[in-house]
Structure 1
Amino acid sequence: MCAPVRWRPQADADGPPGGRGARALLSVARVSPRTPSDLAVARHGWVQAVAGVLAALIVMGIVAGLGLWAAGAADLPDGAFPRVVAATVVTAVGGTIELSGNAGALARSAAGLTVIPLSVTLAGALVLAAGFLRPLRHRAVAGGPELAGWAARIAVVWLLALLGLALGARQTFAVDLGNGTLGDIGDLFGLAPKVGFRTDVALTLFFGVLWLAGVLVLALLVSRGAPLPGRLLRFQESVRPAAYAMVMLLLAYVVLGVVVTLVVAVTRGHSAQSLAVILLGLPNLVWLALTLGLGATWTGRVQGPFGLPMPHVLDEVLRSKEISTLNLGTLADHDGRVWWLVAVDAVLLLAAAFVLAARSPARMRAWQHALHMAVALALTVLMICLVGRIDAHYGLSLLGVGDLGGGLSGDLFLKPKVWTALGLAVLWGLVTGFLGALLARPVRRRRGKTEKEWDT
């Protein structure tokens, strides 16, 4: 007699990740003719590529525009607001904006800016990933050439759109010297300082393509239903659960940050400022808090009229003439409530470790989950350290005199101590990964029974 065949729901029809079910589907795909429904599912041509890229850029533009409007940028002179929105979108995907100044023969101005508005980045990445994965849904496997061709179509459209944004993101502004002594000097010598920005097109296209590649690869890793080439199916057992857990961790911090910011806006006012923070730089804040909760250290300084879109306690620590150290200890000297960051980290990391273990094959041991969690968290923290840096400065000098101050010069930077942060991430990942595997044992046992039934 033959053993009964147990059918599973369509969502799990590929069996255990990378197991017999996936290999069976791969074999069937090689010998079965393609049906009209298969052709409809596999349709991902130029129209879909244009739609996906335009949707992502429109969402990014809306988020950036609303955030800049809430920050007061709608009052910029000479109709510069659309160009500033374009520049914000460019920087959100890794593009480079160059600042320049022209103050005449007797004066000199200098400025620089390096910051990524991660709220705009996150919005665009989510929409673009969804557009990339949609035509591939309901597929168990996909050939490498097919995935490469689909990604290449998106890349071509993306480069053309990014080129248009880069060429449009440029503007020049006049600097108001005021009515004081500085203004009198400017009137005496006929000085009319100007500052402006423009895009480094070559670097913008280069980093924009890297950003796109990262988004598409991460989308394939995170999505459980996204098809992979047959040769890569064996890697999904360890990579996909970890990638999914880290993305959920980062999104959980963003959601928590939105809730906290809205509560602060309702109870303390400053609704426009809170909206600007949410729409422009909320991930910059909450992911920084994630690393601080792990025990990481950042260094920085705030001088002049620059301000950080952050809680007041951060500005207090960083606003000094010397380079300041930013960690739990220095923050606790100003506000003891920062120790709650450790508790939040512990809870959310444990939840991420549970998700990782629950989505992994049942045969994996607890130490393997701990190792996967440690590697994934270290890579996540490295990403935060790379994209969370801030560096901004500007100044004006007249007649060879250095920065004149008076609201016309400032300096701001924030940088992480990377190796310390990575070491702490590995330690936290090992501990929470092991504990999460223990908490997920009931789920893993049920998964193991299901896998045995499927093999039967």
Structure 2
Amino acid sequence: MSTSNRPGRGVARAGWVHALVTVLAALVAMAATAALGLWAAGAAGLPGGGFGPVVAAALVTAVGGALELSGDADALLDTSAGLTVMPLSVTVVGALVLAAGFLRPFRSGAVTSPGDTARWAGRIAALWLLALIGVAFAARHTFAVPLGDDTLGDLGDLFGLSPRAGFRADVPLTVFVGVVWLAGVLLLAVLVSGRVPLPGRLPSARASVRPAAEALVLLLLGQVVVGVVIALVVAATRGHPAETLAVVLLGLPNLVWLGLTLGLGATWHGHVQGPFDLPMPHVLDQVLRTPDIATLNLGTLTDHDGRWWWLPVVDAVLLLVTAWLTAVRSPVRPPLWRHAAHLAVALALAVLTICLVGRVSAHLSLSVLGIGDLGGGLGGSLLLRADVWPALGLAVLWGLGAGFLGALAARYPRLSRDGR
């Protein structure tokens, strides 16, 4: 008697061991990416064994977790610090490994029913929750803060001050946001894969949105790949390979997806002061290094370098290809307006995600008797945030236009599914 359809067979082949392998593979990939990036950035020499906790902190922020920065100083010394940033290179690596591990049992036929799907996702979520708790508790460390050789250092020597600054993960918030991040990764994996069994009418709903979701994912990942190629060319022709490697392994998606929104016409605001510095391209640092909040958009970029007007051209080409790909992969041929609406919604969600995860906020200040920095380079701030609602409106307009034209092109015989 055949046992291929016995209940629970899929769960047995996609059980706890396979879930553990999936979660561990994602964590190892994220940790390796973060460690190499931080090493290239010069963090390997952190005192007091601080490199490991900093890697753990990078994993915490990569899934949207929060770090609490604090200072331990005497009554005469005051420290203030804050940090909000997501190293999206680490985020993307973890998401890809998790999604691949999650989808593997479906490709092999190990999970064949909606109930098995829920149990398989539950196993991964439970182990991911435990892993998040461990990583969050590991992300804590305290460093001695040098006061320097200037007036601030003299005051520290005079009063015998030995300030220390440290960080620790906000464990409850990190765990909550990390589980939400996992849910988003698994949901996106379900949307772009047609093999995951779903209950009721969900399969038909997925079939209608899958082409647009898959095409947008390919667009975003394709931009990252192009960014890697450009970074390698820059490193080979202009030097600074360590700095370039650090950017690639820690924040390349932050830059290329920022460029995507700028090409659509979005506006960001921010400023850079003190020792903080933005990675390539250098024009970002030039625009944002102002005493007040600066405006970052196509206009301000082209004031420094006219070649940035190519951004909307590149975006237009990429979106037309994405729209055409969405149309030719659709199982049926709906009206043109529906293709346009699907791409508009997908692009708006992508831009919203970029605006939320691309925000950067960092500040550091140190003062003795109310006298801060004193030229010692110990204080500074970095801020970058988007005008979200105008960016979403522009994304909808671009999505509608590109979706309509792409779907129209897909009806041309030589560019349709049959022609291909």
TM range (shorter): over 0.9
SS at match of 1:333: helix
Aligned mate of 2:123, from 153, 156, 165: 153
1:47 to 1:148, Cα distance in 2 relative to 1, 3 A: same
CA distance in 1, matches of 2:110, 2:398: 34
SS at match of 2:70: strand
Q: Determine the structure 1 residue equivalent to 2:213.
A: 243
CA distance in 2, matches of 1:169, 1:414: 24
Aligned mate of 1:429, from 392, 395, 399: 399
1:344 to 1:444, Cα distance in 2 relative to 1, 3 A: closer
Q: Match of 2:28, as an amino acid?
A: I
Q: State whether residues 362 and 445 of structure 1, in contact with CA within 8 Å, keep that contact through their aligned partners in structure 2.
A: no
Q: Determine the structure 1 residue equivalent to 2:146.
A: 176
Q: Determine the structure 2 residue equivalent to 1:13.
A: none
1:330 to 1:445, Cα distance in 2 relative to 1, 3 A: closer
Deviations 1:269-325 (A, max 9, x none): 010000000000000000000000000000001011111123110100000001100
SS at match of 2:149: coil
CA distance in 1, matches of 2:91, 2:416: 39
Deviations 1:74-124 (A, max 9, x none): 010011111111110111011111110122110100100000000000000
- What is the Cα deviation at residue 444 of structure 1? 8.4
Aligned mate of 1:227, from 161, 177, 197: 197
Deviations 1:329-349 (A, max 9, x none): 000000111111111111111
> Is the counterpart of residue 133 in structure 1 residue 113 in structure 2?
no
1:35-50 alignment to 2 at 5 Å? Answer: 35=5, 39=9, 43-50=13-20
- What is the Cα deviation at residue 406 of structure 1? 2.2
Aligned mate of 2:228, from 238, 258, 266: 258
Aligned mate of 1:318, from 284, 288, 291: 288
> Is the counterpart of residue 162 in structure 1 residue 132 in structure 2?
yes
Q: Determine the structure 1 residue equivalent to 2:390.
A: 420
Residue correspondences, number: 417
1:141 to 1:432, Cα distance in 2 relative to 1, 3 A: farther
1:445 to 1:141, Cα distance in 2 relative to 1, 3 A: farther
Q: Match of 2:96, as an amino acid?
A: L
SS at match of 1:300: strand
Q: Match of 1:246, as an amino acid?
A: L
- What is the Cα deviation at residue 402 of structure 1? 4.8
The answer to which of 402-411 and 283-292 deviates more is: 402-411
CA distance in 1, matches of 2:25, 2:110: 26
Q: Determine the structure 2 residue equivalent to 1:52.
A: 22
Q: Match of 2:325, as an amino acid?
A: V
> Is the counterpart of residue 71 in structure 1 residue 41 in structure 2?
yes
The answer to which of 236-245 and 252-261 deviates more is: 236-245
TM-score, normalized by length of structure 2? Answer: 0.95
The answer to which of 140-149 and 260-269 deviates more is: 140-149
Q: State whether residues 138 and 225 of structure 1, in contact with CA within 8 Å, keep that contact through their aligned partners in structure 2.
A: no
The answer to which of 322-331 and 438-447 deviates more is: 438-447
Q: Determine the structure 1 residue equivalent to 2:269.
A: 299
Aligned mate of 2:179, from 187, 202, 209: 209
Q: Match of 1:124, as an amino acid?
A: G
- Percent identity over the alignment is 67
CA distance in 2, matches of 1:321, 1:329: 19
Q: State whether residues 150 and 376 of structure 2, in contact with CA within 8 Å, keep that contact through their aligned partners in structure 1.
A: no
Q: State whether residues 52 and 128 of structure 1, in contact with CA within 8 Å, keep that contact through their aligned partners in structure 2.
A: yes
The answer to which of 32-41 and 388-397 deviates more is: 32-41
- What is the Cα deviation at residue 71 of structure 1? 0.3
The answer to which of 163-172 and 139-148 deviates more is: 139-148
The alignment yields a C-alpha RMSD, in angstroms, of 2.1
Q: Determine the structure 1 residue equivalent to 2:311.
A: 341
Q: State whether residues 10 and 111 of structure 2, in contact with CA within 8 Å, keep that contact through their aligned partners in structure 1.
A: no
Deviations 1:255-277 (A, max 9, x none): 11111111111110010000000
CA distance in 2, matches of 1:224, 1:446: 18
